[in-house]
Structure 1
Amino acid sequence: MAGSEAWPTIPTGNKDHLEAAVVIIGGGISGMCTAIDLIQRNNCKNFVILEKSGGVGGTWRDNKYPGCCCDVWSHLYSYSFEQNSDWTREYPGQEEILRYLVGVAQKYELYRYVRFNSSVESAKWDDATKKWNIDVRVDGSKDAEFGSQYTMKSDFLVSAVGQLNQPKLPNIEGVDTFKGKLMHSARWDWSYDLRGKKVAIIGNGATAAQIIPELVKEVDHLTIHQRTPNWVIPRLDEDIPEWKRKMYRYLPYVRHRKRADMMDFRENFYNAVYDNDHPVAQFLEGQAKEHMHAQLPGREDLWEKLLPDYKIGCKRVIISDDYLPVFLRDNVKLETGHIDKITEKGIVTDGKEDECDVIVCATGFKTVEFMHPIEITGSAGRSLASVWKEGGEALYGLTVESLPNFGMLYGPNTNLGHNSIVLMIEAQSRYINALIKEVLEARRNGGQLTIKPKASKVKEYNDEIQRELQDSSFNDPRCGSWYKREDNGRITQNWSRTVIDYQKILSKVNWNDFDVSGMGAERLQGEGVVTKLGRVVEETLVSYQTMGLTALSIAAVGVAVALRGGAGLRLR
């Protein structure tokens, strides 16, 4: 029973199972952040999270392969409002990140809003009712007994599906004919015993670099199929001892300061991955070469095969201490030839078949196909596929032409090559919730409000971003990456500036960017009408030198006060 509560503070229940003020697609980092902001910023509990899997966590629930971990420091790869003092390693493993996310979901009571095993097949905007109709397929066997599919209505739709959720198998002839065990890294079969097996792994990117050092400990032989070499720099991971964890817990300023230092370092890393002429880029290339020479001493033959000829930021930089040494093992073969096809027994490379028991595909995800395979239809029956026929684009990576009352997180051109994506996600959630607030306010007053970005603003913004990206290392023609489309080379994934730049853009809503209609629209129209949101400032604002001088000043004052107090006592 809702009692005296007013909409939208009343959660969706049995009688209104098919309707919610807001529907969020995805229960990963983005979806959870949006849900928490809905509750805390908009006092809205009338929302539903539709999650296709059986638990929260998103990519950190799906990816459970051997060695799975994050290449961003744990204290930075977490919500600013829910920092964790108890990370056990500087770089977190998948299981620890998932535990963290589950803990956050429990703390903020998000489970009551999630419908698991619920896949969104399509979403269509209704111009007459000013609502989204969302077609849901129920995949859980028990829940499907109550109904295998249904359609939800919502005033606002949020996509939190991310970019790394649909596994991509290699486009190689015969991949479906292999009679052995075929596994994708994001769909790992832990019940399969790899001990004593002859294994081939296709791919040598960040995921493969984590899997390979673990596989070589178990398998009889491992062939690594490399298409393009990667830049590899030291990881320098280490345990976080208990005394440090206690310090972070009981002295939160120290923890905040550590996070700020990490933020500073990673923001400076932007120069390396974006501009190859920058001194930081040159330093990292030199460091990568030294790292390779130290880990593969005297192996010029391997250096030649493993050293890239493209700019260091073109593909994602691998941060690892245990990847390169595997090439010195007797049970490892580096194969750089062209894969012709896959047969029932193995892989044919440059005309020669190499038989194997297992093929591991560390071949990434369908990244440029944002929201795939969900079919999205906006106003006037215009499909998202037609809007994005040349590649995904959105205003600030958040709102899309012809899609009213819609927002997406980790959308086009918001991926990072240098810093924590969580920093981007928090800014996006805050911005989207500002849009949702106006839609909720209109409905609360008995009306409706629709918000969609002006096509001219979307084009102006994306033209600017693409111009910047053309001069970046991401656009180096000597390498391909999941950052850009294969058909036209358009870079649809990456942001062209720093995190701080992005946060500042999203620190306010400029309503002149949008076409707004319905109740309350007149209040939001006109030049100069903005909603100020602010941002979470996490970069260092006070240097260590200033902190030291301040501490000395405070200590001096303390000593002076103590001496005065002591003198006073003596005079008495």
Structure 2
Amino acid sequence: MSDPSSIPSVDYGRNTNTTDVLIIGAGISGMTTAVDMIRRGNGRNFIILEKGNQVGGTWNDQRYPGCCCDVWSHLYSLSFEPNARWTREYPGQEEILDYLIDIAQKYQLYKHIRFNTSVEEARWDETTNTWGTVATRLGGKDSEFGDKYTIRSDFLVSAVGQLNIPKYPEIEGLNSFSGKVMHSARWDWDYDVRDKRIGVIGNGATAAQIIPEIAKVSGDLTVFQRTPNWVIPRLDRPISPSMRAIYSYVPFVRRRYRAGLMDFRESFFDAVFDTNSPVHEFIGASSKDHLATQLPGDANAELRRQLQPHYAVGCKRVIISDDYFPAFARDNVSLETSKIERVTPNGIIVQSGKEHTFDFLILATGFKTTQFMYPMKIYGAGGKSIEDIWPSGATAYLGMTVPSLPNFAMLYGPNTNLGHNSIILMIEAQALYINALIKAIKTSKSKGASLSIRPKEAVVHKYNGEIQERLSKSAFADPNCNSWYKNEDGLITNNWSDTVVKYQQRTSQIDWNDFEITGATHSGLKPQGKESWHRVVEETQVSNAMLLTGLLATAGVLATRFILKSSLKIR
């Protein structure tokens, strides 16, 4: 927000709880939406509420040992804010957080953010076409000003994502354990893990990063595995100072490298949506070879059998790691595949009756991914709650807008997660689309209209029918595995049904006929027809062979001109 006065005023100021746009969450999604407001001319009249103490979202929350990203650094960054200084091919948590802090500082987002603030509820007011959002101050001193207050906004954006509320396992006796219990998303670095007897419940992507790190210093370490995972090589390595210099001073090289990374990841889409495809077979074979290479010999035969999955590649998140399998070859690490019966004060009893004794339990059990916006209470048109709106699971038009929630949008919402590429590519497309909605409301308001914009029920129903039909034929729907992509009824609520490019193309225009628009005093204030904008095109447009041919041809032309010019001088 840009305050025209140097002192707080009743009508306007950074302390005022009235704004054009309220953004919930200061992670990548919320920050990208805010930056696009600035870049697209939608102004700075926005407020960002952040529950944590810093920007970064999941990259501020996740601080466990080994925490890193499974997408390449140069692909896990915003297209308009490339980072030539990445030090590794795959970024670690601290380096990603530094990158996001730099963006917040560059675009002066901090003055818009209210940290240590949670959202209790948001309620749509049909008389004013505005949202009333109840915010709770979590900080002790801030709460002295008033522990709760309401922010009034013309538009509401949920940027809380899918990976923000830890999921604790429902295991009998968990609260009776007398040792230390810690969820991976709430890591306590004051607790010394050295020489401790440690049990890890869960073996997904987070566990695969934690286990190799703590195995180096722990006493006995036992991993409780429900189902094995497909694991493929990571091949991570440092990026040399000379290469970082080239990325900095020869931007074309960096852009070309990013395009190649995007192309490669897009090609993995076939592995998920065609289980008979060569790509699917290639990934499966690569994982099996990886397992056999890292745990060779007859002595590891039983371990290889236990770690080999028997479901379609992509049904669960594929793990990218070079040190997960080798951790099980350590003398202090063991794999337990029997079902957990209950937790006791001393440890864990499995179905066979064996009791494992521990000092420390790590819950690497993920997040409440299918309960979007939980635990916020959202009330839309007619006072309809989000539970009433989504009785059978979360759905949204293009993963962003919901029929009963006017002037509302969400990022990283239902069916926008990826199993093959960088989520930032999706987030950028969503931020552009959402800013088109914001622009329409701001433009009409400047002309005296108070608009209400929400997608039509029939449009959303048709859209979700299309993507669920595609998803039902994908590896995500394999009945041989459970994953965080599905809700309790088996509905795939999290993942997108196509390539990133297809999503970018579909969200690079808005058809106002897909929306119910009310509140305009005359038709001239009501957006109509279709509106489009240029999507961010990052995939390779010209093949390397064609590029090389062009460079050689150009070199040939220049050489010919030089020879001719030299010969004329001789004459």
Q: With structure 1 as the length reference, what TM-score do the two structures score?
A: 0.96
Cα–Cα, structure 1 residues 327 and 123, in superposed 2: closer, same or farther, change >3 Å? same
**Residues 94-119 of structure 1 deviation map (CA, whole Å, 9 limit, x = unaligned):** 00000000011111111111000110
Question: Hey, what's the Cα distance between the residues in 1 that align with 2:492 and 2:85?
Answer: 37
Cα–Cα, structure 1 residues 4 and 565, in superposed 2: closer, same or farther, change >3 Å? farther
Question: Hey, what's the Cα distance between the residues in 2 that align with 1:52 and 1:270?
Answer: 34
Question: Hey, what's the Cα distance between the residues in 2 that align with 1:472 and 1:349?
Answer: 33
Answer whether contact 2:128 2:450 (CA < 8 A) is retained.
Answer: no
Question: Hey, what's the Cα distance between the residues in 2 that align with 1:315 and 1:275?
Answer: 15
**Residues 41-68 of structure 1 deviation map (CA, whole Å, 9 limit, x = unaligned):** 1331110000011100000000000000
**Residues 285-313 of structure 1 deviation map (CA, whole Å, 9 limit, x = unaligned):** 01111110000002210111000010011
Cα RMSD over matched residues? 1.5
Corresponding residue for residue 17 of structure 2: 18
Question: Hey, what's the Cα distance between the residues in 1 that align with 2:52 and 2:452?
Answer: 31
Answer whether contact 1:450 1:516 (CA < 8 A) is retained.
Answer: yes
Once structures 1 and 2 are overlaid, which stretch shifts more, 509-518 or 414-423? 509-518
The 3-state SS of whatever aligns with 2:496 is: coil
1:550 aligns with 2:533: no
Once structures 1 and 2 are overlaid, which stretch shifts more, 445-454 or 117-126? 445-454
Match of 1:476 among 467, 475, 478: 478
Q: Which runs of 4+ in 1 moved over 6 A?
A: none
**Residues 117-168 of structure 1 deviation map (CA, whole Å, 9 limit, x = unaligned):** 1101100001111110000000012222222110110000000000000001
Question: Hey, what's the Cα distance between the residues in 1 that align with 2:127 and 2:228?
Answer: 54
Question: Hey, what's the Cα distance between the residues in 2 that align with 1:565 and 1:112?
Answer: 61
The 3-state SS of whatever aligns with 1:558 is: helix
Letter matched to residue 241 of structure 1 = S
Cα–Cα, structure 1 residues 179 and 246, in superposed 2: closer, same or farther, change >3 Å? same
Matches within 5 A, 1:523-542: 523=524, 529-542=529-542
Question: Hey, what's the Cα distance between the residues in 2 that align with 1:43 and 1:311?
Answer: 45
Q: Give the drift of 1:570.
A: 2.6
Question: Hey, what's the Cα distance between the residues in 2 that align with 1:460 and 1:551?
Answer: 48
Question: Hey, what's the Cα distance between the residues in 1 that align with 2:522 and 2:358?
Answer: 64
Matches within 5 A, 1:480-519: 480-486=482-488, 488-519=489-520
Question: Hey, what's the Cα distance between the residues in 1 that align with 2:191 and 2:12?
Answer: 42
Letter matched to residue 201 of structure 2 = I
Corresponding residue for residue 249 of structure 2: 250
Letter matched to residue 106 of structure 1 = Q
Corresponding residue for residue 151 of structure 2: 152
Q: Give the drift of 1:520.
A: 6.7
Corresponding residue for residue 100 of structure 1: 99
1:306 aligns with 2:307: yes
Corresponding residue for residue 567 of structure 2: 567
Question: Hey, what's the Cα distance between the residues in 1 that align with 2:69 and 2:268?
Answer: 17
Q: Give the drift of 1:3.
A: 4.3
Question: Hey, what's the Cα distance between the residues in 2 that align with 1:12 and 1:65?
Answer: 39
Corresponding residue for residue 331 of structure 1: 332
Letter matched to residue 311 of structure 1 = A
Corresponding residue for residue 39 of structure 2: 40
Question: Hey, what's the Cα distance between the residues in 1 that align with 2:367 and 2:419?
Answer: 16
Answer whether contact 2:42 2:438 (CA < 8 A) is retained.
Answer: no
The 3-state SS of whatever aligns with 1:105 is: helix
Once structures 1 and 2 are overlaid, which stretch shifts more, 141-150 or 125-134? 141-150
Question: Hey, what's the Cα distance between the residues in 2 that align with 1:521 and 1:254?
Answer: 51
Corresponding residue for residue 322 of structure 1: 323
Matches within 5 A, 1:457-472: 457-472=459-474
Question: Hey, what's the Cα distance between the residues in 1 that align with 2:348 and 2:524?
Answer: 64
Matches within 5 A, 1:71-470: 71-298=70-297, 299-350=300-351, 351-470=353-472
Letter matched to residue 455 of structure 1 = E
Question: Hey, what's the Cα distance between the residues in 2 that align with 1:295 and 1:229?
Answer: 16
Letter matched to residue 545 of structure 1 = A
Segments of 5+ residues of structure 1 without an aligned counterpart are none
Aligned length: 563
Letter matched to residue 194 of structure 1 = V
Letter matched to residue 105 of structure 2 = Q
Question: Hey, what's the Cα distance between the residues in 2 that align with 1:46 and 1:287?
Answer: 51
The 3-state SS of whatever aligns with 1:158 is: strand
Q: Give the drift of 1:2.
A: 4.3
Q: Give the drift of 1:563.
A: 1.9
Question: Hey, what's the Cα distance between the residues in 2 that align with 1:524 and 1:227?
Answer: 57
Once structures 1 and 2 are overlaid, which stretch shifts more, 333-342 or 550-559? 550-559
Q: Give the drift of 1:227.
A: 0.2
Q: Give the drift of 1:343.
A: 1.3
Cα–Cα, structure 1 residues 2 and 225, in superposed 2: closer, same or farther, change >3 Å? closer
Q: Give the drift of 1:568.
A: 3.2
Q: Give the drift of 1:521.
A: 6.9
Answer whether contact 1:117 1:138 (CA < 8 A) is retained.
Answer: yes
Cα–Cα, structure 1 residues 332 and 125, in superposed 2: closer, same or farther, change >3 Å? same
Answer whether contact 2:449 2:525 (CA < 8 A) is retained.
Answer: no
Once structures 1 and 2 are overlaid, which stretch shifts more, 398-407 or 347-356? 347-356
Letter matched to residue 419 of structure 1 = N
Answer whether contact 1:12 1:20 (CA < 8 A) is retained.
Answer: no
Question: Hey, what's the Cα distance between the residues in 2 that align with 1:21 and 1:113?
Answer: 12
Letter matched to residue 332 of structure 1 = V
Q: Give the drift of 1:218.
A: 1.1
Q: With structure 2 as the length reference, what TM-score do the two structures score?
A: 0.97
Answer whether contact 2:504 2:535 (CA < 8 A) is retained.
Answer: yes
The 3-state SS of whatever aligns with 2:315 is: coil
Answer whether contact 1:12 1:19 (CA < 8 A) is retained.
Answer: no
**Residues 297-330 of structure 1 deviation map (CA, whole Å, 9 limit, x = unaligned):** 0221011100001001100000000000111111
**Residues 357-385 of structure 1 deviation map (CA, whole Å, 9 limit, x = unaligned):** 00000000000000000000001111111
Identity score, percent: 55
Letter matched to residue 230 of structure 2 = W
Letter matched to residue 474 of structure 2 = S
Question: Hey, what's the Cα distance between the residues in 2 that align with 1:51 and 1:101?
Answer: 14
Q: Give the drift of 1:519.
A: 2.3
Question: Hey, what's the Cα distance between the residues in 1 that align with 2:522 and 2:116?
Answer: 38
Question: Hey, what's the Cα distance between the residues in 2 that align with 1:447 and 1:104?
Answer: 34
**Residues 215-235 of structure 1 deviation map (CA, whole Å, 9 limit, x = unaligned):** 101111100000000001100
Q: Give the drift of 1:275.
A: 2.0
The 3-state SS of whatever aligns with 2:191 is: coil
The 3-state SS of whatever aligns with 1:137 is: strand
Letter matched to residue 143 of structure 2 = A
